[in-house]
């Protein structure tokens, strides 16, 4: 699952800028005509969803997870985009799919990313602290800005009153996280006369933040960890000058998605399932998102044994999600540029982190019964959500809504009007007493304490969570491979046409930067 800022290549940090077009791809879904059936058309080739759910087992998923762990172990401990670990992960997925009988396509895309040249705050004593340049904040010149420090009188620095009586002109403001947005802190500091700002965290970790949009301030703004922030505040109190240097340059890179789809199924009604294959550089990424990738792979392997389907099922392992949802965005944006292609997609199902060790059973809240979505939710999304919730309800399995905030690869789909939902077992939100009552585990710590760390390895993936989620994914896949009429009014096999293999789409633009934010998924 994408974080606010993600390392790319050893020793660097990267986020997105506008990408460029990759190789020209053939038209999407080029299977054949396949018109919609008329009213009363029968169910055609139904897959027994209950039986299929039993065929996708924890044991089968675990074999894929074990291989992804071995791949990380052989490749510097990670499977991040643009690394050999990612390439090896993709080769494993491709080999497994080909053995199952799929035609597999690599879907290339090019994109720009920001390589960090400097991110540091240095005291006049020579002591240096790591900082993170906030998204949409200006860079410094080479060598940075040097000035005395200043601290607001209420530490959070949210308003002009916070700076009343403080000599802030020509200083680097040092501000605590909390009470208001990072943008409000930066704006207030600049209005008080500061020439730079550092916001330090109120928990023990680096602060990765965003100002939300460009042009809000003219001063560099960076995040820092809680302990470092305390040391910087002490240095300001002692009159020690500060030097803040944050700057980057843009490079162009290429990565790819892995795409496969069933040979059976009508060509004008496609169910798409996706999970991002890349992880972060800081660890093997076995929950984020080896778990979703492995479940998707086992579902694909078992579905290949079904020789007749009403609807085509397409599987996508997205690249460069951790850099800002790049692969999925490129894919959808190319489809959006081809008349009628997105209309062929009945719905999109997303699986990003489904094995969290302190898990919840989360379903994306497409009907907004708990969380109001920050974007328009496409019609049919609530009905897609209901496939999962209905499955869980039928088994007396507790579940909770997860905010439909756009923090994973479904973002581009819903922004382009494609119905979507999916499953999620939690990242860095804190587990509540109410969630413990429903799912067990430990209150007061994260759903995944190992999120984006070296400890996100196989030993910290929950077999129990996989055992709940994998059959749910299988059930939804089989159900929608048979009938999507509740979502888009289409039922029955239609005119199948001749299958020409999976489409692949390499053109598209990545969103600026990789920072998204939302409720249950990840905190700001």
Distance in angstroms (rounded) separating the CA atoms of residues 169 and 192: 6
Residue 222, SS3? strand
SS3 per residue for 86-147: HHHHHHHHHHHHHHHCCCEEEEEEEEEEEEEEEEEEEECCCCEEECEECECCCCCCCCCEEE
Distance in angstroms (rounded) separating the CA atoms of residues 135 and 248: 12
The token pair that represents 240 in the structure block: 């020690």
On whether the CB atoms of residues 513 and 15 are closer than 8 A, the answer is yes
Of 261, 281, 321, 403, catalytic: 321
Residue 177 buriedness (CB in 10 A; 0-12 / 13-18 / 19+): buried
Q: Which residues are CB-neighbours of 408 under 8 A, at least 6 positions away?
A: 1, 2, 276, 321, 325, 350, 352, 422, 424, 521
Tell me how far CA of residue 418 lies from CA of 116, 184, 332, 423, 498, in angstroms.
Answer: 35, 34, 10, 17, 25
326 phi/psi in degrees, rounded to 5? -70, -50
**Which helix or strand (DSSP H or E) is residue 242 part of?**
strand 242-261
On whether the CB atoms of residues 242 and 122 are closer than 8 A, the answer is yes
Reported as half-sphere exposure (CB side, CA atoms, 13 A), residue 381 has a value of: 27
On whether the CB atoms of residues 491 and 346 are closer than 8 A, the answer is no
| Active site (annotated) includes residue 321 | yes
Of 413, 228, 222, nearest in space to 332 by CA:
413
According to DSSP, the β-strands at 483-484 and 490-491 are antiparallel
Q: Which residue has the tokens 């002109």?
A: 169
**Which helix or strand (DSSP H or E) is residue 51 part of?**
helix 49-55
On whether the CB atoms of residues 277 and 315 are closer than 8 A, the answer is no
Q: Which positions are annotated as active-site residues?
A: 321
């Amino acid at each position: 699952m994408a974080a606010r800022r993600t390392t790319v290549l050893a020793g660097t940090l990267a986020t997105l800028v506008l990408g460029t077009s990759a190789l020209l791809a053939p038209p999407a879904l080029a299977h054949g005509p396949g018109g919609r059936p008329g009213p009363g058309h029968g169910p055609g080739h139904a897959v027994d969803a209950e039986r299929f759910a039993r065929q996708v087992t924890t044991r089968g998923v675990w074999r894929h997870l074990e291989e992804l762990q071995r791949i990380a172990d052989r490749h510097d401990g990670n499977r991040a985009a643009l690394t050999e670990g990612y390439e090896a992960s993709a080769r494993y997925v491709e080999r497994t799919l080909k053995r199952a009988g799929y035609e597999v396509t690599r879907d290339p895309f090019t994109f720009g990313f920001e390589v960090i040249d400097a991110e540091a705050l240095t005291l006049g004593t020579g002591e240096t602290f790591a900082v993170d340049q906030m998204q949409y904040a200006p860079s410094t010149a080479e060598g940075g800005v040097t000035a005395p420090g200043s601290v607001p009188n209420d530490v959070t620095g949210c308003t002009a009153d916070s700076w009343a009586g403080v000599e802030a002109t020509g200083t680097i403001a040092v501000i605590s996280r909390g009470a208001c947005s990072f943008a409000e802190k930066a704006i207030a500091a600049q209005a008080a006369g500061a020439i730079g700002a550092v916001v330090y965290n109120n928990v023990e970790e680096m602060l990765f933040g965003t100002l939300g949009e460009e042009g809000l301030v003219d001063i560099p703004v960076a995040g820092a960890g809680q302990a470092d922030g305390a040391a910087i505040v002490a240095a300001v109190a002692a009159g020690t000058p500060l030097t803040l240097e944050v700057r980057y340059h843009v490079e162009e890179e290429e990565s790819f998605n892995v795409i496969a789809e069933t040979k059976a199924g009508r060509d004008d009604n496609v169910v798409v399932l996706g999970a991002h294959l890349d992880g972060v550089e800081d660890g093997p990424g076995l929950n984020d998102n080896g778990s979703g990738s492995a479940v998707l792979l086992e579902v694909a392997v078992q579905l290949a044994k079904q020789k007749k389907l009403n609807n085509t099922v397409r599987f996508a392992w997205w690249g460069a999600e951790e850099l800002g949802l790049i692969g999925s965005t490129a894919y959808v944006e190319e489809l959006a540029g081809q008349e009628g292609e997105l209309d062929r997609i009945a719905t999109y199902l997303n699986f990003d982190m489904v094995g969290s060790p302190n898990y919840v059973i989360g379903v994306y809240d497409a009907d907004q019964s708990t969380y109001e979505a920050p974007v328009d939710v496409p019609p049919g999304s609530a009905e897609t959500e209901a496939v999962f919730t209905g499955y869980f309800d039928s088994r007396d399995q507790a579940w909770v809504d997860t905010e439909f905030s756009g923090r994973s690869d479904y973002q581009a789909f819903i922004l382009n009007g494609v119905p979507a939902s999916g499953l999620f077992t939690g990242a860095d939100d804190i587990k509540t007493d109410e969630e413990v009552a429903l799912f067990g585990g430990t209150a007061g710590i994260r759903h995944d304490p190992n999120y984006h760390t070296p400890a996100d390895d196989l030993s910290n993936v929950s077999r129990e969570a996989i055992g709940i989620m994998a059959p749910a994914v299988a059930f939804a896949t089989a159900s929608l491979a048979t009938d999507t009429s509740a979502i888009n009014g289409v039922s029955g096999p239609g005119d199948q046409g001749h299958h020409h293999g999976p489409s692949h789409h390499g053109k598209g633009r990545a969103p600026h930067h990789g920072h998204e934010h939302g409720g249950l998924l990840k905190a700001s």
